[in-house]
Amino acid sequence: MYQAFLVDIDGVLTRGSSALPGAVDALRVIQTQGRVVLLTNNSTRSQREVAQYLSLLTLDVAAEDVLPTSTLAARYLRERAGATMVWVVGEAGLRDELIIAGHELADRPDRAEWLVVGMDRRLDYEKLRLALQALLGGARLLATNEDATYPTGGGLVPGAGAVVGALRGMGYAPEAVVGKPSRLAFEVALAQLALPAERVLMIGDRLDTDIVGARAAGLDSALVLSGVSAAGDLARTHVRPTWVAASLADLCAGRAQRCAGDDGRLSG
Ligand SMILES: [Mg+2]
């Protein structure tokens, strides 16, 4: 049996600002079966803000068991580079986590040692100009994630990939990307759980981040079809989760199918 679960948020527990049907009860069920850490590529909120937001939806998880890419990026930078001077293209949650981790926000872009980039719903030409000044001044580039899109109640909107893509368009590629499918995200989460990959199940709604990343890090994975990836996407790719279920509620109720073509270990 799995001893812990890494659970994505958007498309698994929530859609837009609502809990998905059955998700509240399903989360409680899996919390009785093992430790649950929420691993989300969202960079706009801090760890604490994500936990507070989820508690309003009666999805209750301790703040330290929530790992958004705002937290992952700040910790990664602290581990690799110590306390640094940063310039940020992103939202308040990312700034907050960088400060909590001991970094300092530069007052001018050319003073930054690192440019940290995440989803920014107020991105404009001036922000790109300032980011370029940081890069021309020698700042190294760290990205929270590169999700192409982001699901909301009103459909898909541009994700952090659109912001990172604007920098790529200026000729700058990130030195590291901390969010799924990057191994870095799974390393931090497994370290927090203090468990080997074989004992942990990743539950997510995206083949290209949750499932690809889990496989690369050696975790079994469950794709739930309540978010971005649909059954048709599974038919068009050779990426194979260990399990497929319509939703987290179905997965918890035992209504999951072992994925045809999966060559992973047997679980249980
Ligand atoms: Mg998701």
Q: Which of 8, 205, 220, 250 is catalytic?
A: 8
Length of the chain: 268
Same domain? For 121 and 174 the reply is yes
Q: How far is the CA of 14 from the centre of ligand 1 (A)?
A: 9
Query: Does some domain include residue 258?
Result: yes
Cα of first residue to Cα of last residue in the chain, in angstroms, is: 4
Can you give the CATH number for the domain in which 179 is found? 3.40.50.1000
Query: Does some domain include residue 101?
Result: yes
Query: Does some domain include residue 5?
Result: no
Sign of CA dihedral 232, 257, 243, 21: positive
10 counts as catalytic: yes
Q: Which of 10, 205, 210, 220 is catalytic?
A: 10
3-state helix, strand, coil in the chain (%, to 5): 40, 20, 40
Query: Does some domain include residue 240?
Result: yes
Last residue in a domain, options 148, 163, 194:
194
Same domain? For 178 and 60 the reply is yes
By residue range, what is the domain housing residue 176? 19-25+35-194
Q: How far is the CA of 18 from the centre of ligand 1 (A)?
A: 14
The rounded distance, in Å, linking the Cα atoms of 198 and 217 is 10
Q: How far is the CA of 107 from the centre of ligand 1 (A)?
A: 34
Say how many C-beta atoms besides its own lie within 10 A of residue 216's C-beta.
13
Same domain? For 183 and 236 the reply is no
Same domain? For 180 and 68 the reply is yes
65 counts as catalytic: no
Q: How far is the CA of 109 from the centre of ligand 1 (A)?
A: 32
Same domain? For 262 and 138 the reply is no
3-state secondary structure of 85: strand
At position 104, the amino acid (one-letter code) is: E
268 residues of the chain, pLDDT tens digit each: 899 999 999 999 999 889 999 999 999 999 999 999 999 999 999 999 999 999 999 999 999 999 999 999 999 999 999 999 999 999 999 999 999 999 999 999 999 999 999 999 999 999 999 999 999 999 999 999 999 988 787 888 999 999 999 999 999 999 999 999 999 999 999 999 999 999 999 999 999 999 999 999 999 999 999 998 999 999 999 999 999 999 999 999 999 999 866 544 444 3
Q: How far is the CA of 139 from the centre of ligand 1 (A)?
A: 30
Query: Does some domain include residue 7?
Result: no
Last residue in a domain, options 140, 165, 194:
194
Query: Does some domain include residue 254?
Result: yes
Which residues have a Cβ under 8 Å from the Cβ of 43 and sit 6 or more positions away?
68, 69, 70, 73, 90, 91, 93, 94, 118, 119, 144, 145, 160, 179
Cβ pair 216, 199 in contact under 8 A? no
Query: Does some domain include residue 12?
Result: no
Same domain? For 123 and 228 the reply is no
DSSP structural state of residue 10: B
Same domain? For 257 and 142 the reply is no
The rounded distance, in Å, linking the Cα atoms of 112 and 119 is 19
Q: What are the tokens at 70?
A: 């705002």
What's the number of domains the chain is made of?
2
Q: How far is the CA of 19 from the centre of ligand 1 (A)?
A: 13
Q: What pTM does this model have?
A: 0.92
